[in-house]
Amino acid sequence: MSRWEPGARGRLAQAALDLYQERGFEQTTVAEIAERAGLTERTFFRYFADKREVIFGGQAKLQEIYTSAIANAPASATPLDAVVVALEATIPGFQGRHKIVRQRQAVIAANPGLQERELLKGTLLTSTIADALRSRGVPGLSASIAAEVGAIAFKIAFDRWVSDPDEQDLSHLFRASLNQLKSIVAGT
Amino acid sequence: MSRWEPGARGRLAQAALDLYQERGFEQTTVAEIAERAGLTERTFFRYFADKREVIFGGQAKLQEIYTSAIANAPASATPLDAVVVALEATIPGFQGRHKIVRQRQAVIAANPGLQERELLKGTLLTSTIADALRSRGVPGLSASIAAEVGAIAFKIAFDRWVSDPDEQDLSHLFRASLNQLKSIVAGT
């Protein structure tokens, strides 16, 4: 097998998610994933440190997007505006991936250990956003609150996007949940 | 050893937390906890299913408080008002327990597995609040948003309360973080 495999990463990820769904995450081995993808275990480990990383590997990329979007937000942006811009910046990365994201969420929902890991990922991402706000001079507590509030609005929109078999527009859902959050907080 | 032990639960919990802090959670055995408390392992298992339950056993009680406070909130309360009432109803249970709560948080912070479990507990508690709002007729999405927003304001207040060695008033901190959240969302 050659060292360079066109689309190997994507094929491995798809094979892994299919197997996690069919057999369960714990029951699937790396050997089985490689076999299903028509590749070797060695190739698997060139792309992923372990079975979990197929599911959680996108974290560093999201952190990068948040940090750069917040650093580049206009000086006039409120903390929450800057967070919204950062979260919106991730949306193009989900487009065209509705089916695989749904599959990922189903695998996580079926495994308590993965659910806990997913919550930890959410917490780390929210901290990244808060840190990026602090680097803009937003005071600590305000940065945390703005990051958490934005993350909730996004999470609610994302869950709706994932649970709807017909792919709705994620940007639209995000705007809608943000507006709903604003009206709930205002008590109207 | 008699079947009834005055204060046995509290002595076991304190011994467990002391040992988790001294030796680490994983390294501590139930036998050691019982010995430190001057009780038997059998007594330990009368109060706790396992080592983790010493840390997470309060969950059912909190769920009860939330559900009853939201059911009894005035009909005129907005969803967020009802959530605030529910969260405030838990505060008396923390009073006089600042030292032990700080110790619990330090043990969790030192162990990634416990951190993940703590996040899961937070998610379950937020769902309980959202469910109680739905039982009052609050629509699903609004119930989720109000529950999440209230939970953030409480969490931020709680973290400040825990991290301050001088015990501040938790009700006051909660009101302050709620007001700060409102002004951040309003963009002022």
Q: Does the pLDDT at position A36 exceed 50?
A: yes
pLDDT at A2: 43
Q: Over chain B, what is the mean pLDDT?
A: 93
Contacts of B184 in chain A (CB under 8 A): 78-80, 142, 145-146, 149
Report the alpha-carbon distance of residue A134 to residue B57 in Å, rounded: 36
Question: Are A80 and B144 a contacting pair at CB < 8 A?
Answer: no
Question: Are A78 and B187 a contacting pair at CB < 8 A?
Answer: yes
Q: Residue B43 in 3-state DSSP?
A: helix
A75 interfacial to chain B (CB closer than 8 Å): no
**C-alpha pair distances (Å), B3 with each of A150, B8, B39, B44:** 52, 10, 11, 12
pLDDT tens string B43-95 = 999 999 999 999 998 889 999 999 999 999 999 999 999 999 999 999 999 98
Q: Over chain A, what is the mean pLDDT?
A: 93
Question: Are A185 and B141 a contacting pair at CB < 8 A?
Answer: no
Kindly indicate whether the ipTM for this predicted assembly is greater than 0.85, answering yes or no.
no
B150 interfacial to chain A (CB closer than 8 Å): no
Q: How far is A178 from chain B (nearest CA, A)?
A: 9
Q: Which two tokens stand for residue A75?
A: 């000086």
Largest CA distance in chain B: 63
Q: How far is A152 from chain B (nearest CA, A)?
A: 7
Confidence of residue A92 (pLDDT cuts 50, 70, 90): very high
Q: Does the pLDDT at position A4 exceed 60?
A: no
Report the alpha-carbon distance of residue B185 to residue A142 in Å, rounded: 10
Query: Average pLDDT of B9-17?
Result: 95
Closest CA to A132 of A59, A72, A58: A72
Nearest to B145 among A123, A144, A152 (CB): A152
A142 interfacial to chain B (CB closer than 8 Å): yes
pLDDT at B1: 44
Question: Are B115 and A112 a contacting pair at CB < 8 A?
Answer: no
Domains of chain B, start order? 8-53 (1.10.10.60), 58-186 (1.10.357.10)
pLDDT tens string B123-148 = 999 999 999 999 999 999 999 999 99
Report the alpha-carbon distance of residue A133 to residue A127 in Å, rounded: 10
A37 interfacial to chain B (CB closer than 8 Å): no
